Structure 1
Amino acid sequence: MADKHHSLVRQTYLPYGKQWIDDDDIQAVIDVLKSDYLTTGPAVERFEKAFSQYVDAKYAVAFSNGTAALHGACFVAGIEPGDEVITTPMTFVASANCVLYQGGKPVFADINQRTYNIDVEKVKQLITPKTRAVIPVDFTGQPCDLDELLSIAKQHNLVVIEDAAHALGATYKDRKVGSISDMTMFSLHPVKHMTTGEGGIITTNNKDYYEKLVQFRSHGITRERSKLLHDHGPWYYEMQHLGFNYRMTDIQAALGLSQLKKVEQFIKIRKKYVSIYNEAFRGWREFVSPFQALDRQSSWHLYVIRLNLEALTGSRKEVFEALQHENIGVNVHYIPVYYQPYYQELGYQKGLCPNAEEVYEAIITLPLFPAMSERDVQDVITAVKKIISLYSR
């Protein structure tokens, strides 16, 4: 393939995602480093308050990472050995692993072929007396069918833990993601809409969930006098359940507070670049651009194209490698969770979710992040058109 390229589109590598850190972010971290608190302190509390206000939720609980936050949500939802939790295979493994941490069983529901989000009808079919919760994932930043999922959950007394790792700033029927489900998890990894380095956060409107999450992330310990079973004195604390050390540091929270001030700007840039992509790729028969439902607004964490392999002479792997050769840092989101060897050893088999498997075989994620320049965006477009044209039948 290399001999067909002649000159490369780019001389430097463009990743699919990357953080945007400026001098204000750096100064915010320096200020904490000079303060009395480095680990969980006043900056975490300020960050949680600001974050909950941004998503219109009553409460927010910060964690060391998104996976830890999901684990906390599963604990609070009461997931125990033998319980079943329905989720999607089109996600990162953490969305299902958090169920395993509690001894539960992930049950995979197939996806909608247009949105790539979990199919509500499939969820209905998979509910059993053992089902305790549903973990829908807002894939690429587009919210799931939340009203339908919450209605099903209410009917069957289930908890909805929304994995909104991709969806900070997204809206569903004019409501902000983070204010709708029983609990909502946001990831603060560097490739997401804003970052705390590593980090995650759960938002909820349920005070009981909030208090349990706070306790869970700190060894299951409480110092609140009203909750103590005994009280030996002002130094006394109690470990009331087996929690974990999942605390966020003030260093992370300071970065998060600074980043949160810019998140709307970041999302605006993402949407602008998506519009440029959509216009450039309109009408191509060799691949399909992302679908956007009319009653919700994606915050565009990822831009995923789906190849029409019947219109191409090459495989997805060949197209992927050719784009990488052009220094375009494409990726694939995601390998179905149950394809992983660990899940295969648990008894999950291919063929479980045909739609997800078919989509997986044809998708490629293009670079999309605010720190890209418009020239970078045009380089991606040029490279995609170049490679697709070479492989077009």
Structure 2
Amino acid sequence: MIPYGRQDIQQADIDVVLDVLHSDFLTQGPMVPRFEQAVAEKVGARHALAVNSATSALHVACLALGLGEGDWLWTTPVTFVASANCGLYCGAQVDFVDIDPRTYNLCPRALGAKLEQAEQTGRLPKVVVAVHLCGQPCKMEAIHALGQRFGFRIIEDASHAIGGQYQGEYIGSGRYSDITVFSFHPVKIITTAEGGMALTNNDALASRMDLLRSHGVTRDPELMTHEVDGPWYYQQVALGFNYRMTELQAALGVSQLERLDDYVATRNALATRYDEQLAGLPVTTPWQHPDSYSGRHLYVIRLELNQVRVTHRQVFESLREQGIGVNLHYIPVHTQPYYQQLGFRPGDFPEAECYYAQAISLPLYPTMNDTQQDLVIAALRQSLEAS
């Protein structure tokens, strides 16, 4: 089976993790701050806070921005459920904005139209989560301009996008957002096994997220509410969580980060080769915005079903039967049973649903070779030609 994604673990990664195992600290040691500093310097952010998953990063980001009961969070329906669930964790209500049919990201035009309607009803969002699907950044300048006009805060869910760029700057620099979130899951661009990170240029937001990721407990006298009893003293000053990253994970991240640019370059080369080899087949290959340099976490094709005699499901199942580990990213969140119970219905976001009816994620990972890619292409051609 050729998987849709796969981590690349080299001897240097193993060695640095073993060094931590032989050290004095398995958690809350020097490696997590080292990883945070390395990522912040790489992308040009003021602060980086490592946590145990991107979901945790989204949660503490929402809390730091003051999201709570009576508030609204908006995001795209074409994402993993965590991009929406983080709003529900805070007691807020969640809504969606349909996608741009070309980029598959949240559509700024649709966002603007929905904001104008929401302004009339007093239901403007407090937070908008802009998801960089497949690694291609959203049109952040346009979204930021809308945020300035309508007063919402912006989280970039860049779980797919570390190492990519927007308008010549690394994603995570925070020019057009309050907080950016990265994921280090094994199939992502670099991995810490599990893990995530929240980046910001705002000192107060960084301090709040730092507090929330570790139980809301502090030893900083400036954050305490009454007199310090002694050098042993700590206070819980907020309701926080145990979202810390371990030293082992951070060490792996430090090592992987050294290969980040190479990984992204390889992914882009593989994607370009797919573009060339799939030309002429009844599929739509991913369009890339000229302002962007995608992290290329995923390579999603859309089947042109009006040109073939097979169904979406038949093509997907045929590829799996031929040993090609395709996947589908993602089932629109508003169609999930939990969100249906909240009142969403099929037909609410037609562009997202049209995308879902046609999309297939082909294998793409940095150790993929031409022979493996050729097998994927041949299997896809055979699946499309079946009758």
Q: TM class, shorter-chain normalised?
A: over 0.9
Name the residue aligned to 1:192. 188
2:164 and 2:264 in contact (8 A); partners too: no
Kindly state the Cα deviation for residue 125 of structure 1 after the two structures are TM-superposed.
2.7
Alpha-carbon distance between aligned partners in 1 of 2:222 and 2:216, rounded to the nearest angstrom? 16
User: What amino acid sits opposite 1:266 in the alignment?
Assistant: Y
TM-score, L = length of structure 2: 0.96
Match of 2:204 among 205, 208, 212: 208
User: What amino acid sits opposite 2:53 in the alignment?
Assistant: N
Alpha-carbon distance between aligned partners in 2 of 1:146 and 1:243, rounded to the nearest angstrom? 30
Kindly state the Cα deviation for residue 320 of structure 1 after the two structures are TM-superposed.
0.3
SS in 1 for 2:126: strand
Say whether 1:36 aligns with 2:24: yes
Name the residue aligned to 1:294. 290
More moved, 248-257 vs 224-233 = 224-233
Alpha-carbon distance between aligned partners in 1 of 2:287 and 2:341, rounded to the nearest angstrom? 35
Alpha-carbon distance between aligned partners in 1 of 2:169 and 2:257, rounded to the nearest angstrom? 19
Alpha-carbon distance between aligned partners in 2 of 1:313 and 1:59, rounded to the nearest angstrom? 53
Say whether 1:160 aligns with 2:137: no
Kindly state the Cα deviation for residue 133 of structure 1 after the two structures are TM-superposed.
0.8
Alpha-carbon distance between aligned partners in 1 of 2:350 and 2:194, rounded to the nearest angstrom? 33
SS in 2 for 1:61: strand
Name the residue aligned to 2:341. 345
Q: Note the residue ranges of structure 2 that are not aligned, 5 or more in a row.
A: none
User: What amino acid sits opposite 1:235 in the alignment?
Assistant: W
1:235-250 map, 5 Å: 235-250=232-247
What per-residue deviation string (whole Å, max 9, x for no partner) do you get for residues 182-209 of structure 1? 1000000000000000000011111111
User: What amino acid sits opposite 1:237 in the alignment?
Assistant: Y
Match of 1:101 among 79, 89, 101: 89
Kindly state the Cα deviation for residue 40 of structure 1 after the two structures are TM-superposed.
2.2
Name the residue aligned to 1:53. 41
Match of 2:260 among 256, 259, 263: 263
1:86 and 1:126 in contact (8 A); partners too: no
* Identical amino acids, percent of aligned pairs: 44
Name the residue aligned to 1:72. 60
More moved, 323-332 vs 368-377 = 368-377
SS in 2 for 1:144: coil
Name the residue aligned to 1:8. none
Alpha-carbon distance between aligned partners in 2 of 1:216 and 1:374, rounded to the nearest angstrom? 45
TM-score, L = length of structure 1: 0.95
Kindly state the Cα deviation for residue 375 of structure 1 after the two structures are TM-superposed.
1.2
Name the residue aligned to 1:134. 128
1:301-316 map, 5 Å: 301-316=297-312
Q: Note the residue ranges of structure 1 that are not aligned, 5 or more in a row.
A: 1-12
Kindly state the Cα deviation for residue 140 of structure 1 after the two structures are TM-superposed.
0.4
User: What amino acid sits opposite 1:277 in the alignment?
Assistant: Y
Alpha-carbon distance between aligned partners in 2 of 1:347 and 1:238, rounded to the nearest angstrom? 41
What per-residue deviation string (whole Å, max 9, x for no partner) do you get for residues 259-297 of structure 1? 00111111111111111101101232x111001111111
Kindly state the Cα deviation for residue 389 of structure 1 after the two structures are TM-superposed.
2.4
Alpha-carbon distance between aligned partners in 2 of 1:46 and 1:81, rounded to the nearest angstrom? 36
Name the residue aligned to 1:82. 70
SS in 1 for 2:27: coil
Say whether 1:173 aligns with 2:151: no
Name the residue aligned to 1:283. 280
2:301 and 2:362 in contact (8 A); partners too: yes
Alpha-carbon distance between aligned partners in 2 of 1:246 and 1:148, rounded to the nearest angstrom? 32
What per-residue deviation string (whole Å, max 9, x for no partner) do you get for residues 71-122 of structure 1? 0100011101121111000000000000000011111000000000001122
1:223 and 1:237 in contact (8 A); partners too: yes
